[in-house]
Amino acid sequence: MAKKPGAQQIKKEKRDLHIEPAPARMSRRRFLTYLGTGSVALVAGSSGVLAGCGKSEEEGAASERSSKEAAQAPASGEELFFEPIDPTDADELVLPEGFKYDVIRKWGDPVTPDRDYGYNNDFVAYFPIDSLEGGENSEDGLLWVNHEYPIALFVSNYTNPDYDTKKTPEQISKEKASTGGSIFRVKKEGGVWKFAESDEYNRRIDATTPMEVTGPAAGSEEMYMRGKTEVIGTLDNCAGGVTPWNTVLTCEENFQYYYGESSEEVPKGDALAETYRWLDDPAGVQPPEHYGWVVEVDPFDKNSRPRKHTWLGRIRHECVAMRISDSGRIVAYTGHDEEDERIYKFVSTGKYDADNREANTQLFTDGMLYVADFATGRWVALDYENNPLFKDNGFKSQADVLVRTPEAAAIEDPETELPIGTPMDRCEDIEVHPETGQVYCALTNNELHGNFYGQILRITEAGNDPEATEFSYEVFAAGGPQTGFASPDNLAFDQAGNLWVVTDISSDTLNDGIYKTFKNNGAFVMPSRLKGGASGGDVFQFASGPVQSELTGPYFTPDGKTLFLSVQHPGEESEDEENPTSTWPDGDIPRPAVVAITGFA
């Protein structure tokens, strides 16, 4: 989920905004709005008047005591189930009393006899081992884990912090092997989650794995495939989603740092590609247009090829969240994680069939991609054939629109004189409420416009129909000292409907300036209801990550008793392997790891 590579990859100066941080006692003030259908946001944006602000110190203390008392209440279906922790800068994964974590895999551990677990684990998905038969085994299953990007100091022993010397082919090969994803079996035995060796399931997918391509851009000149049916590798795999037919969707985010943004720019010297210097090995160079897609992987079929679905557009994807419409069509929401970029949804042509998994795997091969226009509350189809705007602005085909999705979505509508898709504040994750169907979008921040704390939007489709072309929305929450969290990233709903949020304050700004009171990145819970009939309204910190890490990919087992979580890039700002800024979890060098958290009733 990193907004950009760490300081060991791109050096930049620290911010010094000279703003006094809010007192830490405000960290559990009343939340902006509450979970539940039809609630109304209290503000029109993250800069609005915030509930809980302007109180006297005595009122603030009373509010703090009230939150603490609710947290300490005996566990029940309508009371908070843990005692919140305070922000901390400890180099540890800190959890509430009564909870523990098991490290299942960490950087360098084997996944197969000849392949190791990758670096910078991100999105996590748990598949019950019996899920293809409709089962919900919560103690035996498969884990899919994304691996986003390498930190060269630890992955390839490339020690030049300014990246102004070439990498060797061997160094690049190690970095390619560290990306992509891991699939492996896990079991809970004696109350402990453990990795399980499995010739049937365990495998690695990385930047060298052959992939198929579907949709209008498959084989196209615009995608630089020139009639070919496959591309090589997936990389910078950030967040993702799980389909109703039990496959995983993994999202390629910051692809521009590896082979550049476009093939037209690479021969001229693409500055973005210099970030990781993969172009230093010309034998392994791939066209940039082969990346930036959503990739579908079948965790249950070791021999199946991953597929890149071009109908979902080529952007810096962070997420995919799905609904099934009343007519049976698949609707997939996704976001572009970059300042002033956009939110999209795909609607399939085909219909979901619960009894035909093979047919369902074709649902992303045909449909339509839409971009959200928040100014009018409309979804605008990126339809080359039926919208003359694309031809009038130089696009040559539907494939061209999908390969250059951000440019297509930025075209100005002559009637409104606004872009057809509304620029947003770094959409890092989208999740659908399991009961209401409302769509929650985590907008991490937008420093270009002074939004340093981020917010969460809630979208309600017209008639609660995900196929609708109209929607309404509200600011569900704004980050900041008044809520205790900043830069919301991944979202997840648990079995009780509580919203979980993990944060993504950039490593080089943690514990500094306006972010000082938040300390390390953490995980937070926004309850759907509390004792006494209150409908949420508060935010509580559940976990704090090690130094310079972020917690990513929260995912629950079907019984709700285990939370899988990735600890990504601990010690990211390290410049010397002998003196790392974090030593989690083994006490020597920092190692990203996926953990299983237990202690839930």
DSSP 194-211: EEE--TTT-EEE-TTSEE
Average pLDDT over residues 107-122: 98
Is 353 inside a domain boundary? Answer: yes
Enter the DSSP assignment of 87. Answer: P
Enter the DSSP assignment of 286. Answer: -
DSSP string, 110-174: EEETTEE--SSEEEEEEEETTGGGT---SSEEEEEEEE----HHHHT----TT--SPPPHHHHHH
CA–CA–CA angle 409, 410, 411 (5° rounding): 95
Q: Using one digit for the tens of pLDDT, what is the confidence trace for 500-510?
A: 999 999 999 99
Is 15 inside a domain boundary? Answer: no
Q: Using one digit for the tens of pLDDT, what is the confidence trace for 215-272?
A: 999 999 999 998 898 999 999 999 999 999 999 999 999 999 999 999 987 766 677 8
| Beta carbons within 8 Å of 406's beta carbon, 6+ residues apart | 315, 336, 341, 342
Is 263 inside a domain boundary? Answer: no
Token readout for 548 is 């310079």
Q: Which of these ranges, 25-39, 63-77, 478-492, 534-548, has the smallest mean pLDDT? A: 25-39
Query: What is the phi-psi region of residue 261: left when phi exceeds 0, alpha when psi lies from -120 to 50, beta otherwise?
Result: alpha
Q: Domains in the chain: how many in total?
A: 1
pLDDT value at 396 more than 90: yes
Q: 21 burial class (0-12, 13-18, 19+ CB within 10 angstroms)? A: middle
Residue 138 sits in which domain range? 29-255+291-598
Average pLDDT over residues 470-482: 95
Question: From the centroid of its chain, how far is CA 206?
Answer: 18
Is 85 inside a domain boundary? Answer: yes
Q: How far apart are CA 213 and CA 229, in angstroms?
A: 6
pLDDT at 226: 84
Which one has a higher pLDDT value, 52 or 3? 3
**Cα distances (angstroms) measured from residue 36 to each of 114, 526, 538:** 49, 12, 14
Specify whether the CB–CB gap between 293 and 218 falls below 8 A.
no
pLDDT value at 12 more than 50: no
Q: How far apart are CA 421 and CA 497, in angstroms?
A: 31
Is 14 inside a domain boundary? Answer: no
Specify whether the CB–CB gap between 21 and 517 falls below 8 A.
yes
Is 21 inside a domain boundary? Answer: no
Is 165 inside a domain boundary? Answer: yes
Query: What is the average pLDDT value for the chain, to the nearest integer?
Result: 87
Is 264 inside a domain boundary? Answer: no
pLDDT at 316: 97
Full-model pTM:
0.88
Q: Using one digit for the tens of pLDDT, what is the confidence trace for 411-442?
A: 999 988 999 999 999 999 999 999 999 999 99
Amino acid at 28: R
| Beta carbons within 8 Å of 27's beta carbon, 6+ residues apart | 86, 87, 481, 483, 484, 517, 541
What is the band of 162 on the pLDDT scale with cuts at 50, 70, 90? confident
CATH of the domain at 323: 2.120.10.30
Amino acid at 115: R
